[in-house]
Amino acid sequence: MSVTMRYREAWEGFWREAPDGPGAVFWDAEPVLTSGMHLARFEPRMVDPGLPLIDLGCGNGTQTRFLAQRFPRVLGVDLSEAALEHARAADPAGQATYRVLDAVDPAESDALHIELGDANVYMRGVLHQCEPEDRQPLVDGIATLLGERGRAILVELAEAAGPILQALARRPTGPPAKLAPVFRHGIAPGEVADAALPVYLGVAGLTVLADGELPLTTTEYGPDGARIELPSKWLIVGRHA
């Protein structure tokens, strides 16, 4: 099983259109406001910080480069080759490495695990953008990448983010400029019930080791000049407690 061609083409179209540079897309906030906050919760719960770290759904690599300053081997993976072109161009020093990965395809996850061995995984905002039928296979793929010793932190929009996004999309002036391309390319965030996350993880044989809530900071601003933030949930998971 692999992701649908429609879904792959939607992401290719989005990233081909996306401008270069940090903060160019809706969710591309500064690492100090995103992955930095997540690492503060993740690092103390890693079994082995020396394992390879996979930034799953790395997009243009803003967070990947930040992670590469803190871990010895970081691999950014994404479904979209156009996204990885942005990532490589923004990382001329090669702090991290980048490659296409369809984590829904068990053969690809198996092959990467054979190559790297157990790995830690950072994934922000990928599951809620998946097609519903791809969500469980994606979590299964994460379990494969972790193996026995790896840990993952998964950050996903909470159910409460749905009404906020809907309100932004229905503004009389239209959605914010950086959110509009998401809807236009047919990759508008889907709705994953808060209660569904532990179910996906349990089916994949993963245990929730810690969880909590954080605002997911975006690069857009509301009419009041404040940064738009969306409620999100984070979960740290592994094969064993």
Under a CB-based contact definition with an 8 Å cutoff, are residues 182 and 26 in contact?
A: yes
pLDDT the model gives residue 2: 59
pLDDT the model gives residue 84: 98
pLDDT the model gives residue 3: 64
Residue 178 maps to which CATH number? Answer: 3.40.50.150
Residue 166 has pLDDT above 90, yes or no: no
Angstrom CA distances, 177 to 180, 184, 190, 232, stand at 5, 11, 19, 22
pLDDT the model gives residue 5: 76
Mean of pLDDT values over 29-56: 96
Q: In what order do the strands lie in the sheet containing 151-157?
A: 97-100, 74-78, 53-56, 120-124, 151-157, 227-238, 207-221
Which of 22-33 are b and which e, b meaning 16 or more Cβ less than 10 Å from the residue's Cβ?
eeebbbbbebeb
Is this prediction's pTM over 0.85?
Answer: yes
**% residues pLDDT > 70 (the chain):** 98
Dihedral (CA of 11, 14, 17, 19) sign: negative
pLDDT the model gives residue 201: 97
pLDDT the model gives residue 152: 98
Lowest mean per-residue pLDDT among 9-18, 68-77, 162-171? 162-171
Residue 189 has pLDDT above 80, yes or no: no
Question: Which residues, other chains included, contact 25 with Cβ-Cβ below 8 Å and sequence gap of 6+?
Answer: 18, 59, 60, 178, 181, 219
Angstrom CA distances, 196 to 85, 158, 188, 203, stand at 33, 11, 19, 11
For 144, counting Cβ atoms within 10 Å of its Cβ (0-12 exposed, 13-18 middle, 19+ buried), the class is buried
Structural domain range at position 58: 5-238
Per-residue confidence band for 14, with pLDDT thresholds at 50, 70 and 90: very high
Question: How many domains, the chain?
Answer: 1
Question: Which residues, other chains included, contact 153 with Cβ-Cβ below 8 Å and sequence gap of 6+?
Answer: 38, 41, 42, 121, 122, 123, 234, 235, 236, 237
pLDDT the model gives residue 108: 97
| Residue type at position 33 | L
The single-letter DSSP state of residue 168 is: H
Token pair for 137: 């296979």
Mean of pLDDT values over 138-160: 97
Under a CB-based contact definition with an 8 Å cutoff, are residues 74 and 68 in contact?
A: yes
Mind listing the pLDDT tens digit for each residue in 102-145?
999 999 999 999 999 999 999 999 999 888 889 999 999 999 99
Mean predicted lDDT score pLDDT of the chain: 93
Mind listing the pLDDT tens digit for each residue in 54-82?
999 999 999 999 999 999 999 999 999 99
**98, 103, 107, 110: CA torsion to nearest 10:** 70
Per-residue confidence band for 99, with pLDDT thresholds at 50, 70 and 90: very high
